[in-house]
Amino acid sequence: MKKSTLALSIAAAIGSLGFVGAANAAMGETSGGVGHQLVYPYFTAQGGNATLMSITNTDTTNGKLVKVRFRGAANSDDLFDFTLALSPGDMWTAAVTQDATTGLAQLATTDKSCTLPSSVNAKFSTFRLDPSATEANKAAGTREGYVEVITMANIPSATASTSLFKTIKHVNGVAPCAAAVFTEKLATKALGDATASGLVPPTSGITGDWIILNQTTTAAWSGSATALSPTGTALQVFWPQISGTPTGTITNLTADPLFTKSIVAIQNFDLPDMSTPYSAAAADGAAQADQTTAALAKTNIVNQYVTNDSILADTDLLFSQPTRRYHVAVNYTASSTNLSATTGTSPAAIFRNTGTLLVQENGTSQAYGSDYYRPTNIGFTTASPRILCLTGISAPSNNNVFDREETTPVDNTSFTISPVVVTAPGVVSICGEAAVVSINAGGVTYGSSLNASVARNDITYAAAYTDGWLSFATPSANAAISYPGLPILGQAFIRAANGAVNYGFGYAHKTK
């Protein structure tokens, strides 16, 4: 069977089940996996991998107008986004694979739900990736990352929205998707005009699952998307899937530093993102970003690893930070004297203009950072492609890493870290927004369980520590805040072999 056919056939069979949970904050993670927004912590099309995903509307009364966005593993740059309309009880499935000719990631689906554009069977874009990277590195940069899914509005079956509802409602298994209704009603630049098109504020109801399938070794890993919901009524956050500058004050629409500092020209299709005010409790993009980050914050990550050579075992740990983009991003074209420059050759980390700390920018003091990410816990690699690194994680050393018999290292010299951005003892640098940390792989030039390459990191322990468990402390930049951790999602991806048979199994991160 052809690889693409294999991926699509399995994608079409993926199901999504969940139970509705209650949000625990102004914006909170829902315990049952059903909510208003979803985060898929990782996708990959590297090294024979395909990622299969599904989005299900468990609401059997209302349709959902949903934004789907794929972001890169390095610095969370937008790779591919579109609008999806789910009718009541609808499920959408797709697969991400590597295009054999260009090396780019590509989306493929045979689903019958309506989308804007009308076909989303397309290759991912390198337009917003590091321009200094080679074409091969840019293509690789599209093949790993994470996915954010945001319910922008409900499409109710009420009289006011009959035409729109009817065109997204499946008839004999196929949604009509009449362009005269679906495209024209939603091709408006004014947010207020969405009401006239029959859209109302979104309610909970979407859930999602994913599978990473290695089509060479046939190993596979799976999981469910993390669901988020606001406390109380969500705001309608519809923007059309078109270019053009959105109306409104940018800081009220997003906290993305590249947009708020006009380093990248924001477009209608860039909205909404995970910092767009979704709750009445969020006054602006920065407030929403902090709410969502707090909901996902973890102060400690615990997981196990298996690297026993007798079963050819490899372990990768995923550290996905889906809201870091709204605190710090990379300006690829900054000059050395002006971090907001849109031309230049010296890249720079661009922090959100909030907080009490100061940095000199073009000769003047500017407030920067947030309670979660500041220069105190963010490093920056200058080699192309340029990438942000989290430097504030405590190294899993004595009393933080164990083999299976309680043995722990004597001191921090029991392990080495690659790549190294900081030299402070007891600190780990994890580079990338959807960072993959390989355990005992021998370095980033050697193979890993996931065949990761864009945001690949490596920790090697002394020979005695081939199997066991470890713990990372993941504090925020400000330990005094109410949620003093960092927004990290992920799991352990373990691959092992029994003769000619390969196995893939995963364990979600534990926290304490």
Q: In this prediction, what percent of the chain has a pLDDT beyond 90?
A: 60
pLDDT value at residue 396: 67
What integer pLDDT is reported at residue 3 of this predicted model? Answer: 45
Predicted confidence at residue 141, as pLDDT, reads 97
State yes or no: pLDDT of 363 exceeds 60: no
Q: What mean pLDDT is reported for the chain?
A: 85
- Extract the tokens encoding 40: 């898929």
CB-CB contact of 444 with 418 (8 Å): yes
Q: What is the pLDDT of residue 491?
A: 97
Give Cα separations from 484 to 45, 141, 240, 277, 408 (angstroms).
34, 31, 36, 22, 27
Write down how long the chain is: 512
The residue whose two tokens read 């990473």 is 212
**Phi, psi (deg, nearest 5) at residue 296:** -100, 0
Q: How high is the pLDDT of residue 12? A: 46
Task: Give the SS3 label for residue 111.
Answer: coil
If you search the block for the tokens 């919901």, which residue do you land on? Answer: 229
pLDDT of residue 179: 87
| Residue 128 · residue 69 · CB < 8 Å | no
- What whole-number percentage of the chain has pLDDT above 70? 84
Helix (H, G, I), strand (E, B) or coil at 230: strand
Phi, psi of 277 (to 5 degrees): -50, 120
pLDDT at 360 over 80: no
Contact 470, 457 (CB under 8 A): no
Of 220 and 345, the one with more pLDDT? 220
pLDDT of 137: 95
Q: How many CB atoms lie within 10 A of CB 159?
A: 8
Write the Ramachandran bin of 274: left for phi over 0, alpha for psi from -120 to 50, otherwise beta. alpha
Per-residue pLDDT band for 313 (boundaries 50, 70, 90) equals very high
Cα–Cα distance for residue pair 37/208, rounded to 1 Å:
10
Whether the per-residue pLDDT at 184 is higher than 90: the answer is no
**Does the N-terminal peptide bond of residue 475 adopt cis geometry, omega within 30 degrees of 0?**
no
Short-list 92, 85, 93, 120, CA closest to 105: 120
Per the model's pLDDT, the better-predicted residue between 184 and 311 turns out to be 311
Helix (H, G, I), strand (E, B) or coil at 155: strand
Which residues fall within 8 angstroms of residue 386, CB to CB, at 6 or more apart? 75, 130, 132, 330, 332, 347, 380
Tell me the DSSP string of 435-466.
EEEEESSSSTTS--SS---TTEEEEEE-TT-S
State residue 22's pLDDT score: 31
More confident residue, 447 or 434: 434
The CA distance from 453 to 444, in Å, is: 8
Confidence class for position 356, pLDDT limits 50, 70, 90: very low
Q: Using an 8 Å Cβ cutoff, are 108 and 9 in contact?
A: no
102-107 mean pLDDT: 98
Q: What was the pLDDT predicted at 379?
A: 85
With cut-offs at 50, 70 and 90, classify the pLDDT of residue 188: low
2, pLDDT greater than 60: no
Q: What angle do CA 24, 29, 34 make, to 5 degrees?
A: 110
pLDDT in tens, 50-81: 999 999 999 999 999 999 999 999 999 999 99
Q: Which residue has the higher pLDDT, 320 or 187?
A: 320
Which are the contacts of 150, defined by CB distance < 8 A and separation ≥ 6? Answer: 36, 37, 66, 67, 69, 237, 272, 273, 274, 276, 278
* Residue 396 neighbours by CB distance under 10 Å: 25
Least confident of 103-117, 123-137, 187-201, 444-458: 187-201
Instruction: Using the predicted structure, report yes or no on whether residue 389 has a pLDDT greater than 70.
Output: yes
With 60 as the cut, is the pLDDT of residue 200 above it? Answer: yes
What pLDDT digit, counting tens, does each position of 413-439 carry? 545 555 555 555 566 788 999 999 999
Q: For 202-255, what is each residue's pLDDT tens digit?
A: 999 999 999 999 988 778 999 999 999 999 899 999 999 999 999 899 999 999
Position 362 scores a pLDDT of 46
Q: Which residues contact 313 (CB under 8 A, 6 or more apart)?
A: 306, 307, 467, 494, 495, 496, 497
Q: What is the reported pLDDT for 23?
A: 32
The kind and range of the H/E element at 498 are strand 491-498
Report which secondary-structure segment, H or E, holds 380.
strand 378-381
pTM of the model: 0.91
